[in-house]
Structure 1
Amino acid sequence: MEYNFANMGQGRFNADGTPRPGYLARMYWAVIGSVCGFALLLRVLDFSIARCRKRQTGLRAPSILTEVYANTISQLQILVYPSIPLPRWISPYLHLPTIGRGTLALCYMCMMLAFFFYKNSIKTSSDWEDAGYRSAWLSLTQLPLITLLSTKRINAIAFVTGSAGSYTLNFFHRWVARGLLLTTTLHMFYMMRYYASFEFLVYELTYDPTTRRGLGAWCLVAWIVVLTTLRPFRAWVYELFFVNHVISTIAFFVVLYKHAPSYSRVYIYISIGIWAADVAARWVMILVNNIGPGFLRYRAEVVVCEGGDALEITIRKPAVALRKWAPGQYVSLSFPTVAPFTAHPFTILSSPEDGEMKFVVKKKSGFTKFLARRATSLAVSSTASPRSSTHMDISSEDDEQKFQTSDSVIASFSVIVDGPYGGASREWKKFDTVSCIATGVGATAALPIARAALTTGGRANNGSVRAVSLVWIVRDYSHLLPFLGTLDHMLDFSPPFSSSENDEDTPSLSVRIHITSAASTPPTPLLQRWLKSHASSPYFRVITDKKPDIDATVSCAIQNARGEAAIAVCGGPAITRDVKNSVARLLDARGVRYANGTSGGWCFVHSEGYLE
């Protein structure tokens, strides 16, 4: 088999019937496009059925299409939601994906191997060279998809699939990158084997710059994919991971551009174009939303919460363009005077009607620890002289301010806001019941979702929500303090939860907070007064020294639903795994039936992982 290498990307088959590498690269995108088209079709079908469903008493919409679709989705959930738990000692460092995601990742790897071995008879030294060039084209064609999965502002994959959450997109971004590592390894192996068959390998590595650049590109891929993107490294120091990822990726594209022949660089150009368009779109929105008469429009008030393990960040009066975020969405915040060249994703706790953006962030190593130390140092220096309740320490033109409000000292920093991003693919007001399960600071996503279901799920807003429940798992009483205002909004808004028919225009509510640590510090006087004020509430409970029964919680959410149930799980991989396993078990045991005994029914599960 002989190639005219300059025309490898043209035509379909060679004279002996083997596909040309460039044709296989195009077929790769035909498969990816078909998968995305099927996902878009499912999204349109799901949206259409959701619009057609009407809230009824006793029975769901009697459409045969609705029942068939409900049964199909439920059976798929039974198959794809479960995941295999790992031993406790290894779970902080490694966790397995759900069967659905794992199957998709495995299918992707099998697809790449199928493209590589299709009519690829590897017997002689010339076949080794042919295999090397085929795997090279398969490597290049994956670059645009990897880039698309990493974009934020113009993410076409998120649009057609409805997977706006960064957790899902990042998962497939990493696995497509592992597919790139697979094909580049095959390329390097067969090309080196070809050179070694003529005893040219040492010569090529010593004197041929193209070969050395190829080896360097493979080393960069292995460095990015294998060593520096594993979960322990990403969780250790996020800033180091991010900087290394950007620098290593730029270096990879530079070396790859030097290594690849000019006729094969089209996929490199496409990838760079996608990245440049996304960066340009993001920066246009950043400039529009953040630049004001005094240069930077926003200042972030930072409070180190009691106990010192969390930060409360507040941005007052965001611009109109930033007031349209949905519950569960996040923004990237950059503090020019603290860490000028990094941005960090934080989930928005407040609602747009509050007139402010509020975040509660768990203090870890790296940026959040440095920001807490910087805010504390400003607070300590501000106490050197007496002040009135809202006295500014320095002028508003300075980059940093500190002022004292009642008993808390707040540090103020200039901030740049990028977003919002993420969120669920469905409106929460369209479900019959909405259940939120959160651990720790995962409440920054769960509380806005529950609040939105309450405030927009009533009949006055054309909503279908009858009942909303919140289960929140925290280790210590002090973790509740930054969230008391949001909890008050919810508790004062809704009547008690009831599994019976709710004829009120406002959905009912149930809130359970589980304090799991036996060594939890006693509530502060402020928290004691707050807990006492809600002690008589029939739909608010604080349970100490006991974790919730996830199976019972999920069962209550689904069994009490006469329509479609929704569960939002916000926390680490362990709680997400437990909830999805419970949903799969319950749907399987229930035989996929409604609460009123009619056939059909399904449960929408939305998961939000820790971003920071």
Structure 2
Amino acid sequence: MDMSGMSGMGGMDMSSAGMFTPTDKHIAHVFWYLVVAVVGLLVVRRVIDKLRVLVFKRQSQQTPNTIPSRPNNTLAQSYDTLITICRELSYPQPWTFTGRFSRYFTPPSLGKCLFLLGYWMVILTMLWSNTILTPSSSNYAYKWEIVGFRAAWVSVTQLPLIYVLSGKFNLIGILTGISYERLNWLHRWVARTIFLTVIVHWSFFFREWDIAHFVTLEMEWMPMVKYGFGAWATIGWMVITGFGFFRNLSYELWFLQHLAAALVLLWLVHVHVPSYAAYNVWFAIGVVIFDRALRTLRTVYLNLLPMFKRRATTGQSKKSIVGYTADVKALSPDYLHVTIRDVKFSWKPGQHVYLSIPRAGLFEAHPFTIANVPKTVTGNDGEDKIELYIRVHSGFTRRLHGRCQSLQGPSSFLSFISGPRGQPPSIDRHESLILMATGNGASFTVPLFLQALSTGHHLRQIRFVWIMRQSDQLGWFKDQLLSAWREAQKRDVAISICIFITKDVTDLASSTSRNTLLEDSQVQSTSEKTMGVGTDVTSPVLDLGAEKGKDEAVVQRSLRSSSSSASVDERDLQISYGRPNLDALVRPVVKSAWGETGIFACGGNQFMGSVRNYVARLSDERAVHKGTGAQGIYLFCETYGW
């Protein structure tokens, strides 16, 4: 065998590599053509949706009774039908595991599984096309090498993609409007795919070396082989530790080791591959630098902004500080309320920020959903502030909670912000909205609720559903929900607010009197107003347990007492015990919708799985946008933990 060209991929870049390289390079280019084609398709869809919203807004100005998202020609009907079919395939969640360990193995939704299947078909086609040689082939002597080289190209070609998908500022997200955290699942699965294709790469070469009794000599003569095995071991480590179980053990430690491993992987691959394939490594490095540079510049700017604003308004800099003041209050052993005052930037409802408080964790920054809307939405005067409701876990949040307890009251800390980040869903195309959340998932839905009533002039009906374990959480968004309720009355929007409490059965009366949403003497009576969002909201309760009759009586007494003092129609706002029946909550709104219904939900995997499956069944049952006249249903799920 000619050993004159030993300098490359797989540790055996012999003269035979020249036979395979042109074809392998072409296949590598085709892979990125396909990536660009998929991204381009998503960009086209985004542009079409934006244009349709603009057209609707123009039509609504000319004809106020125009219904949004209702197709008015054959082309629009065909497009909406195609989108509906794709939605019905993508929504279902076939399995949701709830065990302590099994929950980390819950598979992706059906849509993601189908996307992965298509991705793997492309990878398998690239890997095995024209590489299975028969004894009659003139290149049969290279039957092991041809697969080994092809698998090497398939693996290294995918490498930049995992770094693109991992960035907070990535081109795919910027172009398609898909938020970075909603691409993170694909980042993990591409890495797992590379791990498997690398096994094919080294195993075929290793088999050839073993047949020729060449393993020991290969290791001695070709040091890059050792680097190749090191790269495979590194990505294997990243794949294994990337499972949710290990991430949740200690996120801070996991993040540091994952970042270090990602950098080591690039170095090992660069040393291992030949120069004509190193462009993949440099592409990945460029992606990392682009992402980190933008993130750093954005973070520095945001945290220096208060100082610049104070200088501009007061002309003084002595009291100027870097960062923001965060007022932290322990609401309970499980929750914290953080208020960041005098914020000098705006944000969109549904976005999140990365919060860093050095006294609770040096060099640590964690994402939290912003639970309020900026003054650009509400039109209020005064300073902007960011409110966060944080669930206490281990690490940073536990230490911050301990700080508040040790100081015995609300505490102020120097904090730093990075963001705002995320691409929240648009409500411009929906005339009916259903907002559902569990626990502190209301931090995501309440701002959307307020935005809808402030800017969505085409809205006819809104149903807000909040499922919580303890009644104390009612006080979190009392003012916001009452504000939304009053705004809905002014605009003649049919509205219902449904609160479901799954715990605290015995203390309903007392907790309602302390935290009721109805205690507001300024709310005007609507007892004679007929709302169009269903009738009896207590019907969505599935299971009230053994104390069902007693609890329902307490609920009704509390509501009558509150509504008597506050003059609020009980059909608009209901507080119930037990878990809700999705059909009783969703179907009435969808049936009475004139245009597309937007369903926005935030919660854990189990709740999200139930919502996904129900919406897919309802959409298929009603045959939306399929000639029946039933209007479309759009579902957006925000899941805890990403």
Query: What is the TM-score normalised by the length of structure 1?
Result: 0.84
Residues 1:298 and 2:301 are matched in the alignment: no
**Aligned AA for 1:105?**
L
Secondary structure at the aligned position of 1:20 is classed as helix
Q: How does 1:109-508 map to 2 (within 5 A)?
A: 109-122=120-133, 126-153=142-169, 155-164=170-179, 166=181, 168-205=182-219, 208-225=222-239, 227-291=240-304, 292=307, 293=317, 294-305=320-331, 307-319=332-344, 322-323=345-346, 325-353=347-375, 355-377=384-406, 379-380=407-408, 409-426=409-426, 428-458=427-457, 464-495=458-489, 505=491, 507-508=493-494
Secondary structure at the aligned position of 1:494 is classed as helix
Structure 1 residue 63, shift from structure 2 partner: 2.2
Contact 1:165 1:608 in 2 (8 A): no
**Aligned AA for 1:603?**
I
Question: CA 1:341–1:205 in structure 2 vs 1: closer, same or farther (change >3 Å)?
Answer: farther
Instruction: Report the equivalent of 2:79.
Output: 69
Deviates more, 1:208-217 or 1:277-286: 208-217
Instruction: Give the whole-Å Cα distance in 2 for the aligned partners of 1:245 and 1:18.
Output: 32
Structure 1 residue 429, shift from structure 2 partner: 3.5
Secondary structure at the aligned position of 2:503 is classed as coil
Structure 1 residue 453, shift from structure 2 partner: 0.6
Instruction: Give the whole-Å Cα distance in 1 for the aligned partners of 2:168 and 2:371.
Output: 20
Instruction: Report the equivalent of 1:384.
Output: none
TM-align CA RMSD: 2.8
Instruction: Give the whole-Å Cα distance in 1 for the aligned partners of 2:583 and 2:255.
Output: 37
Structure 1 residue 526, shift from structure 2 partner: 6.9
Query: What is the TM-score normalised by the length of structure 2?
Result: 0.80
Instruction: Give the whole-Å Cα distance in 2 for the aligned partners of 1:425 and 1:484.
Output: 24
Instruction: Give the whole-Å Cα distance in 1 for the aligned partners of 2:422 and 2:399.
Output: 26
Structure 1 residue 593, shift from structure 2 partner: 5.6
**Aligned AA for 1:176?**
V
Structure 1 residue 347, shift from structure 2 partner: 0.4
Instruction: Give the whole-Å Cα distance in 1 for the aligned partners of 2:401 and 2:513.
Output: 23
Question: CA 1:455–1:190 in structure 2 vs 1: closer, same or farther (change >3 Å)?
Answer: same
Instruction: Give the whole-Å Cα distance in 1 for the aligned partners of 2:172 and 2:614.
Output: 29
Instruction: Report the equivalent of 1:603.
Output: 633
Structure 1 residue 28, shift from structure 2 partner: 0.6
Provide the aligned length of Structure 1 versus Structure 2.
556
**Aligned AA for 1:204?**
E
Structure 1 residue 374, shift from structure 2 partner: 1.9
Instruction: Give the whole-Å Cα distance in 2 for the aligned partners of 1:87 and 1:285.
Output: 39
- Structure 1 unaligned spans of 5+: 381-408, 459-463, 496-503
Contact 2:323 2:417 in 1 (8 A): no
Contact 1:477 1:520 in 2 (8 A): no
Secondary structure at the aligned position of 1:137 is classed as helix
Secondary structure at the aligned position of 2:183 is classed as helix
**Aligned AA for 2:176?**
T
Instruction: Report the equivalent of 1:79.
Output: 89
Residues 1:100 and 2:111 are matched in the alignment: yes
**Aligned AA for 1:29?**
W
Residues 1:36 and 2:71 are matched in the alignment: no
Contact 1:430 1:465 in 2 (8 A): no
Question: CA 1:302–1:195 in structure 2 vs 1: closer, same or farther (change >3 Å)?
Answer: same
Instruction: Give the whole-Å Cα distance in 1 for the aligned partners of 2:395 and 2:220.
Output: 42
**Aligned AA for 2:348?**
A
Instruction: Give the whole-Å Cα distance in 2 for the aligned partners of 1:25 and 1:368.
Output: 45
Instruction: Report the equivalent of 1:512.
Output: 498
Instruction: Give the whole-Å Cα distance in 2 for the aligned partners of 1:135 and 1:76.
Output: 32
Instruction: Give the whole-Å Cα distance in 2 for the aligned partners of 1:16 and 1:206.
Output: 26
Instruction: Give the whole-Å Cα distance in 2 for the aligned partners of 1:313 and 1:526.
Output: 25
CA displacement 1:423-477 (0-9 Å, x = unmatched): 3342x1431011111111111101111111111112xxxxx11112111111111
Contact 2:392 2:401 in 1 (8 A): yes
Instruction: Give the whole-Å Cα distance in 2 for the aligned partners of 1:7 and 1:244.
Output: 29
Question: CA 1:146–1:102 in structure 2 vs 1: closer, same or farther (change >3 Å)?
Answer: same
Structure 1 residue 20, shift from structure 2 partner: 2.1
Secondary structure at the aligned position of 2:329 is classed as strand
Runs of 4+ with deviation above 6 angstroms: 1-8, 13-18
Instruction: Report the equivalent of 2:592.
Output: 560
Structure 1 residue 483, shift from structure 2 partner: 2.5
Question: CA 1:165–1:559 in structure 2 vs 1: closer, same or farther (change >3 Å)?
Answer: farther
- Structure 2 unaligned spans of 5+: 10-15, 135-139, 308-316, 521-558
Contact 1:514 1:545 in 2 (8 A): yes
Instruction: Give the whole-Å Cα distance in 1 for the aligned partners of 2:250 and 2:496.
Output: 38
Instruction: Give the whole-Å Cα distance in 2 for the aligned partners of 1:14 and 1:204.
Output: 16
Instruction: State, as a whole percentage, how many aligned pairs show the same letter.
Output: 30
